[in-house]
Structure 1
Amino acid sequence: MVSINSSVFNFPEIKRVLLLLEKKDRVKLFLVLVVNTFLAFLDLFGVALIGITSAILIRGLQGLTAGDQVSRFLELLNLDELPQRNILILLGTTAIFFFVLKTVLSVYFLRRTLRYMSIRNAQISSSLVSKMLNRPVEKIFNKSIQNQIYNVTGGVERLVGGAVTNLVVIASDVVLLLVIILGLMLVDPLTSVGTFFVFTGIAFLLYFLLHKRVSILNSKFAYESIYFNQKVSEGINSFRDLFIKGGREFYVNEIRKTKMKLAGYDAEIKFIPNISKYTIEISVILGIALIAGIQFYLFDSNRAIAVISVFLAASTRIAPAIIRLQQNIILVKSSLSAAQPTFELIDELNGIKELETTETLITTSHRDFAPRVNLKNLKFKYTDAINETIQDISLEISEGKFIAFVGPSGGGKSTLVDLVLGLLAPSSGSISISGLTPVDAIKKWPGSIGYVPQDVFIENSTVKENICLGFNPELVADDLIWQALEHADLSDFVRGLEGQLSYRISDSGKNLSGGQRQRLGIARALLTKPKIVIFDEATSALDAETENRVSESILKLTGECTVIFIAHRLSVVRSADMIYYIDKGRIVNQGTFDELRSINADFNNQANFMGI
């Protein structure tokens, strides 16, 4: 859990939030403040006119003429010759006009501000996602998916919508209060100052009593929301396991308990603002009564009624402003607390560039790309590991060769492939593909390298959209997709589906078999007709007959493609030009299938066990 700062505002965090906005955005926020200052004067003019109208009305009822100050005001506006009834109607109507105009303009500018902040919210979220996806693979998966989703959605919304937008409202209400209080001081300085300090004191007293609780509640709500979404996702994705072992009830109970916690936090968060609202409303009523008592006690009734009228009119603006001010201060504080995970993500992404906005267009021509891979003195250690996962590996993979990596689980085979693909950066040593680093080679020749993971990602979309993952499917010809399906031995299956390429696959490919999912992954990798194809246990879920057909397709790729294969099932790699036996991050032995059997007992035993 994050620590809660008990200061009124955590200014360093507010500064960080404001710095998320571009300079032009901060200038626009300042202009909004200037506009709100102008709107505050409309309120002041309305309150002043109400006071003048009240003074004329009271003195008129007593058969008296207007006072000296009011008379000079009427002369200034050339209204002194009008009948009193007309003056009252004119001044009252003008006051109402100022109040209505201020409200309408406030709504208009608030809508523009909220819309602008929503756009900035979207831009900041997109920027964070772009930076997130421009990191090494080990950084991508060091936190749960639900945590990362919250950081770039709800967390950013708390920063922009909860903090920045409410800061604008706070600044606007402070200006409004100052303008009205300064105006009231012209009517009755002592009462105005007293009113200001009493209501401000009440507002800050409520803040200090409530803000820490609200911050804690919002922080807990944020983390419990992440946990809740994570459990729901796990329950759906692991349904088969839970059904078989009878574990569904555990997940349902966990989800129920978490949701009940969230309901409790949510109810309390929503109720707390009402405490301050009703407290300030009662304070306004008592304050007006106190002002009335003081005025009638110290001054004549004419003056007392006029002053009370002005303060009553002002209270219709002061009370809501104080309520908003107090509540928005709490909202800013709670939003900063709830956005702590997003602050942590921003720190992690500091210095990382965004991905380019230009989308990669599909291409099957990889001119000048040489499918050669060279590894020299390669070493790698994960950030939280003690020992190196890859230890001083050097090898050269020639063009058109079929290379296999075998060995025990945890030996470093998949990590080596991640290094070759540029998903991880080596601790030392070098990797080159066609004379460039993996990242530069992929950037220069997109689609020249195909990759088939052991666990193929399947999205909830059509067959075509799944195969075109990362490309705009509207720009990919169906013939190209059918060719990839043929190579993956999946074309007959797809032709038998309703809609064929437009057939919709469910989340994670739940309506496909394991073998069909893997063959879909193979088709996806072969879509761009790559010159290097890397298979990471890509046939582990296939039956023997399908594996043989896919193996034949893979062998057809050799010569025109360089094939790199990670395998535990050795039947696929019998025809490999070179097999590297990797254990504890080192190449222990290398050779053809028969050569490796003769020099590596573990490899030979595994081959015998599989009946090869």
Structure 2
Amino acid sequence: MLSNIRNLFYLVDFPVKTKLALAVIGAFIVSLLEIFGVAATYPLILLVSGQSIESGPLATLAQLLGTTDRQRLIALTGIIVVSAFIGKSLFTIGFRWWQSGFVNKMELSARVNLLGLYLDSPYPDHKKRELSKIHTNLVTSMAQAYRMSIFGGLSLLTNLMTITLMLIIVFILSPQVAIIAVPIFGAVGYAIPALSKRQLEKISHQITKADQISWFSSMPALSAFREMRLFSVGDQFVEKYKRGVEMSAKAQRQQGLVNELPKNIMEIVFIVSIASLAVFMFSTRDQAEAIATMGVFSVAAVRLMPAINSAMASLNVVRSGTAGVLLLNREIEYFKGISRYSALPSSNTVFTGDVDVQGVSFQYDPAAEPVLKNISISIPANKTVAFVGSSGSGKSTLVDIILGMLPPTQGSVTCGGIPISADLKAWQQQLGVVPQSVYVLPGNLKENVAFGLPETDIDDAQVISALAHAELNELVDSLPNGITEDLGQDGGRLSGGQRQRLGIARALYRTPKLLVLDEATSALDNKTEHKITQTIEGLAGEMTIVMVAHRLSTIKKADIIYYMKNGEVVNQGSFEELSELNPEFKELVELGKL
């Protein structure tokens, strides 16, 4: 478990070891102050009970304080005891504040860095991930790992130091009492956490699973609100959400019970021990010494009980965070073994010329059938090229390889004779992509066109130019605040055609040399599709355009059309040439006329 917790520091972007050392030192100081206050009560009780000042610990105290007057000694000792407890309390408050800030800063850093790692991971791996698990790791697992396991572990360390030093004091004052008390409290302190360990780990996994169920039922319903309403399945999503919430509530109730049991059991042990000690002391010692020892033991026990309870509670908290620690460790081990996109070098290579795909094959898994098979094609600069074919023919995979999102299993992609893999970042900075479904960010129009750039870095003139090229001037004029108008939740104020034009404007804002449209018009009506096709045709010659299309009306004027089947390019040519060369393409053309 300690190695797993230590592994969590991988996600923290500031030095941790020094602050952990300070946390240990601070915990030791808290324990020392606690013990000093308890130890100081022993001479105070001896003084109050009338013990002789001429010998023993009181003689030493009188010499240190420079007086043999009992009343003065009582007053001075009382001030020392009170000062010790006040100092301990003030230091503990400040130390806990610092410790809490340290752990919170660790969690904040880890959350931010983990999201960065997810966004930095290879595209094929990202496609396999479930959003609900990413959400769980960023929220629930983080809280369990840092707030519960690490902060709980530091609290446990402080309490263990206090308990150890307290038992040492008891042993010094009365070895016989310590010999009896230590085994009793030790056995109980060991048995209770040992018995609850497995249950707490089980509860931890239940809470994590419950969070996934709740997220997986609530977010899809809210994201697909229209379908949810039209299909009248809201009750089903609510029912699934209810199951997750109920599971979480049940697990947290069990966790609360398990955390409360140690405190109540220890209180029973404490009362029984005090009663047994009282019988033992007053039957074997003189009254004054018995009263003093009982007094110190009572004070120690009063301070020891919260420490033991807190130690067991902290141990339970640490164990409750087990699931989060294990989940994050699994992710950390994965991220340690991958090549991160941000780590790729870039010399800002300027790619110009034709894009050549040479002998490219691709398969997602070594044991699986190839998705692409030995494809060699050319995409001339500033020409329009289209890929068509039935679903599963490999069109989108080939485009992802051209974009540099997927590395080919065999072969290469070059631009102007330079492999795009030589400077992948520079290559991708020269691309623009319009997907089939354009995601609309929460915010205004210009923020959506600039997509992800800070507002201070957005060029308004370039935004307006991109919108004009995408033929969205009419939309801008209709908005009261122009490009600063908020577009509503998920772009609710945009029509389907406007959403796709926004995607085109977003791609054009970065002045790409290669524009890729991946099924960008397949979900639109014929009239809107025709308008967007005209927009795309208006860009022809200004940049290289690559289109993936099912509907052939969008690619009639393409310079080259590649027809794909079963991961291979079987024919190529203009629209008219393919209609003559390929019977399947001709059939698609005839169906399109219908």
How does the TM-score come out when normalised to structure 2?
0.94
Q: Which residue in the other structure is 1:53 paired with? A: 44
Aligned to 1:396, which of 369, 378, 382?
Answer: 378
Contact 1:200 1:322 in 2 (8 A): no
Contact 2:420 2:427 in 1 (8 A): no
Q: Which residue in the other structure is 1:250 paired with? A: 236
Q: Which residue in the other structure is 2:248 paired with? A: 262
Q: Write out per-residue CA displacement over residues 283-339 of structure 1, whole angstroms, 9 at most, x where no aligned residue.
A: 222222222121112212111110011111112321111111111112112212233
Q: Which residue in the other structure is 1:76 paired with? A: 63
Contact 2:360 2:372 in 1 (8 A): yes
The alignment partner of 1:457 has SS state of coil
Q: 1:368 to 1:256 in 2, by over 3 A?
A: closer
Q: How far apart, in 1, do the equivalents of 2:184 and 2:10 lie? A: 35
Q: How far apart, in 2, do the equivalents of 1:433 and 1:461 lie? A: 36
Of 583-592 and 71-80, deviating more is 71-80
Contact 1:127 1:354 in 2 (8 A): no
Q: Write out per-residue CA displacement over residues 184-227 of structure 1, whole angstroms, 9 at most, x where no aligned residue.
A: 21100121233222122212211122221111111111111012
Give the letter aligned to residue 383 of structure 1.
Answer: D
Q: Which residue in the other structure is 2:22 paired with? A: 31
The alignment partner of 1:575 has SS state of coil
Q: Which residue in the other structure is 1:460 paired with? A: 442
Contact 2:122 2:341 in 1 (8 A): no
Residue 607 of structure 1 deviates from its aligned partner by 0.9
Of 19-28 and 340-349, deviating more is 19-28
Q: How far apart, in 2, do the equivalents of 1:429 and 1:347 lie? A: 30
Q: Write out per-residue CA displacement over residues 62-115 of structure 1, whole angstroms, 9 at most, x where no aligned residue.
A: xx533622333224313333x322211211121121112112112211211211
Q: How far apart, in 2, do the equivalents of 1:507 and 1:397 lie? A: 39
Give the letter aligned to residue 18 of structure 2.
Answer: V
- Does residue 330 in structure 1 map to residue 324 in structure 2? no
Residue 575 of structure 1 deviates from its aligned partner by 0.8
Q: How far apart, in 2, do the equivalents of 1:19 and 1:77 lie? A: 52
- Does residue 321 in structure 1 map to residue 303 in structure 2? no
Give the letter aligned to residue 393 of structure 1.
Answer: I
Q: Which residue in the other structure is 1:363 paired with? A: none
Q: 1:486 to 1:20 in 2, by over 3 A?
A: closer
Residue 257 of structure 1 deviates from its aligned partner by 2.2
Q: Which residue in the other structure is 2:356 paired with? A: 374
Residue 350 of structure 1 deviates from its aligned partner by 1.6
The alignment partner of 1:461 has SS state of coil
Give the letter aligned to residue 80 of structure 1.
Answer: T
The alignment partner of 1:400 has SS state of coil
Q: How far apart, in 2, do the equivalents of 1:508 and 1:576 lie? A: 33
Q: How far apart, in 1, do the equivalents of 2:37 and 2:328 lie? A: 44
Aligned to 2:118, which of 132, 138, 142?
Answer: 132
- Does residue 474 in structure 1 map to residue 448 in structure 2? no
Q: How far apart, in 1, do the equivalents of 2:262 and 2:518 lie? A: 60
Q: Which residue in the other structure is 1:598 paired with? A: 580
Of 336-345 and 405-414, deviating more is 336-345
Q: Which residue in the other structure is 1:550 paired with? A: 532
Q: Which residue in the other structure is 2:542 paired with? A: 560
Of 187-196 and 501-510, deviating more is 501-510
Q: How far apart, in 1, do the equivalents of 2:43 and 2:352 lie? A: 88
Give the letter aligned to residue 220 of structure 1.
Answer: Q
Q: 1:425 to 1:353 in 2, by over 3 A?
A: closer
Residue 15 of structure 1 deviates from its aligned partner by 4.0
Residue 562 of structure 1 deviates from its aligned partner by 0.3
Give the letter aligned to residue 574 of structure 1.
Answer: K
Q: Which runs of 5+ in 1 are unaligned?
A: 1-9, 361-365
Q: Which residue in the other structure is 2:477 paired with? A: 495
Q: How does 1:219-368 map to 2 (within 5 A)?
A: 219-352=205-338, 356=342, 368=350
Aligned to 1:44, which of 35, 52, 66?
Answer: 35
Q: Write out per-residue CA displacement over residues 416-472 of structure 1, whole angstroms, 9 at most, x where no aligned residue.
A: 111111111111211223544446545236642100111111122111111111222
Post-superposition, which runs of at least 4 consecutive aligned residues in structure 1 deviate over 6 A?
none
Q: How far apart, in 2, do the equivalents of 1:109 and 1:145 lie? A: 38
Q: How far apart, in 2, do the equivalents of 1:433 and 1:154 lie? A: 45
The alignment partner of 1:609 has SS state of helix
Q: Which residue in the other structure is 2:133 paired with? A: 147
Q: How far apart, in 2, do the equivalents of 1:606 and 1:17 lie? A: 56
Residue 509 of structure 1 deviates from its aligned partner by 2.4
Give the letter aligned to residue 459 of structure 1.
Answer: L
Give the letter aligned to residue 57 of structure 2.
Answer: V
Give the letter aligned to residue 475 of structure 1.
Answer: D
Q: How far apart, in 2, do the equivalents of 1:96 and 1:579 lie? A: 89
- Does residue 415 in structure 1 map to residue 397 in structure 2? yes
Aligned to 1:383, which of 365, 372, 375?
Answer: 365
Q: How far apart, in 2, do the equivalents of 1:78 and 1:533 lie? A: 87
Aligned to 2:161, which of 175, 180, 201?
Answer: 175
- Does residue 213 in structure 1 map to residue 199 in structure 2? yes
Q: Which residue in the other structure is 1:66 paired with? A: 53
How does the TM-score come out when normalised to structure 1?
0.92
Q: How far apart, in 2, do the equivalents of 1:492 and 1:114 lie? A: 54
Q: How far apart, in 1, do the equivalents of 2:228 and 2:151 lie? A: 44
CA RMSD of aligned residues (A): 2.3
Q: How far apart, in 1, do the equivalents of 2:208 and 2:298 lie? A: 42
Of 195-204 and 400-409, deviating more is 195-204
Of 489-498 and 597-606, deviating more is 489-498
Give the letter aligned to residue 549 of structure 1.
Answer: K
Q: How does 1:93-172 map to 2 (within 5 A)?
A: 93-172=79-158
Contact 1:215 1:338 in 2 (8 A): no
Q: How far apart, in 1, do the equivalents of 2:488 and 2:383 lie? A: 37
Q: Which residue in the other structure is 1:518 paired with? A: 500
- Does residue 535 in structure 1 map to residue 521 in structure 2? no
Q: Which residue in the other structure is 1:571 paired with? A: 553
Give the letter aligned to residue 589 of structure 1.
Answer: N
Residue 174 of structure 1 deviates from its aligned partner by 1.5
Q: 1:243 to 1:36 in 2, by over 3 A?
A: closer
Contact 1:454 1:538 in 2 (8 A): yes
Give the letter aligned to residue 601 of structure 1.
Answer: P
Q: 1:20 to 1:454 in 2, by over 3 A?
A: closer
Q: How far apart, in 2, do the equivalents of 1:467 and 1:257 lie? A: 40
Q: 1:67 to 1:314 in 2, by over 3 A?
A: farther
The alignment partner of 2:120 has SS state of coil
Q: 1:175 to 1:18 in 2, by over 3 A?
A: farther
Residue 385 of structure 1 deviates from its aligned partner by 6.6
Q: 1:141 to 1:386 in 2, by over 3 A?
A: same
Q: How far apart, in 2, do the equivalents of 1:239 and 1:291 lie? A: 68
Q: 1:288 to 1:136 in 2, by over 3 A?
A: same
The alignment partner of 1:68 has SS state of coil
Residue 542 of structure 1 deviates from its aligned partner by 3.0
Q: 1:485 to 1:129 in 2, by over 3 A?
A: same
Q: How far apart, in 1, do the equivalents of 2:268 and 2:72 lie? A: 36
Give the letter aligned to residue 527 of structure 1.
Answer: Y
- Does residue 607 in structure 1 map to residue 593 in structure 2? no
Give the letter aligned to residue 37 of structure 1.
Answer: F
Residue 367 of structure 1 deviates from its aligned partner by 9.0
Q: Which residue in the other structure is 1:196 paired with? A: 182
Q: How far apart, in 2, do the equivalents of 1:130 and 1:301 lie? A: 69
Q: How far apart, in 1, do the equivalents of 2:104 and 2:364 lie? A: 38
Q: Which residue in the other structure is 1:3 paired with? A: none
Q: How far apart, in 1, do the equivalents of 2:317 and 2:418 lie? A: 51
Of all paired residues, the percent bearing the same amino acid is 26
Contact 2:471 2:501 in 1 (8 A): yes
